[in-house]
Chain A
C-alpha cells in the first residue's frame, strides 16, 4: 500500500460511491443498516465471523480502560524501578502489569514542575486504547485536533486546567507507530498505591487535566 504522502492519479475518485452490483446504494441507507449489510458481506466472504466480532467487543469493554493506565502511573509514583522502566520502555512497563500494547511504540512522558505534557493525534485519533479505554469524543473532535497544537494553553483552559505562565507545555502528536501516555505529577500526601491510582483520570493520562 502506498504511503501517506503519495497522491498518484490512480487514487483520484476512488472514494466516489462504488457501482458494483448490490453495493451502489449504500450512501442512501441509514448508517446502522449499512453497517449490518457490510457485516453480512464480510462474514459471507469469510473475512471474519460473528463470533470473532463479538469477542473483540467483549474484550474491549472488559479489558480496555483508563484504570489500566492509572495503575501504571500509580506504580511509577511508588516504585522508582518501575518508573525508570516506564520512562525508558513503556511497552515493557505495560506488559509488566499484564497490559497489551502490540503494534506500536508506547512512550510515557512525565509532567514536571517545569513541563506539562499533552497528547493529540492531529491525523486521526491514535491512542493506546488498552490503557485508556475507547477515546473520548473531544479527543476525536476537529476542534481539539486542530487547536491544541496551535494554542495548547487556551485549550487546556477550556478543560479547566490553568497552568502557570512559566510552565512549558509539550504537545505530543501521536501516530500509528508511536502513542503516548502522560505521567501526571503525583498528588500531595502519603497515599497507598491503590488510592493514588484512583486519583488518576483519563484526562490526566492524556494531559487535559492535572491528574
Chain B
C-alpha cells in the first residue's frame, strides 16, 4: 500500500497535529536516527526503505503509526538481508 492520493474516507485533515516537538516519543526519534544511519552506511537506500513500507499488508499499514511503519520496514529489510 502506498499511493493514497485521491482516495476517500480518511476524514478531515488533523490540522491541529502540528508537532511542536518533532517526535511524539523517544522511540520515534531512535527509529528516525536508525533509518538515517543505516542509509548513510549503505545498509539500504531510500527506495528499498519505501519499497519495504509499501509491502506492508494494507491492514497493518493502516493500523500502524507513521514511525511504526518505518520500524517494520527496517526490521523487514534487515531480516531479508540477514544482517541483524
Contact = CB atoms under 8 A, between A and B. Distances in A.
A2 to B, nearest CB: 7
Interface in A31-54: 31-32, 34-36, 38-39, 41-42, 44-45, 47-48, 52-54
B70 to A, nearest CB: 10
Interface residues of B, number: 60
A138 B26 CA distance: 20
Given A4-B47, A57-B33, A124-B53, A146 B4 contact: yes
Contacts, number: 170
**Closest CB pairs A-B (n = 8):** A122-B5, A137-B17, A134-B22, A48-B37, A143-B10, A45-B84, A32-B27, A41-B84
Interface of A: 1-4, 11, 14-15, 18, 20, 23, 26, 31-32, 34-36, 38-39, 41-42, 44-45, 47-48, 52-54, 56-57, 60-61, 103, 120, 122-125, 133-138, 140-150, 155, 158-160, 173, 176, 208
18 contacts: A1-B44, A4-B54, A14-B55, A18-B76, A36-B27, A39-B34, A42-B83, A44-B84, A56-B33, A60-B32, A120-B5, A122-B4, A122-B6, A133-B22, A143-B13, A144-B14, A146-B5, A158-B13
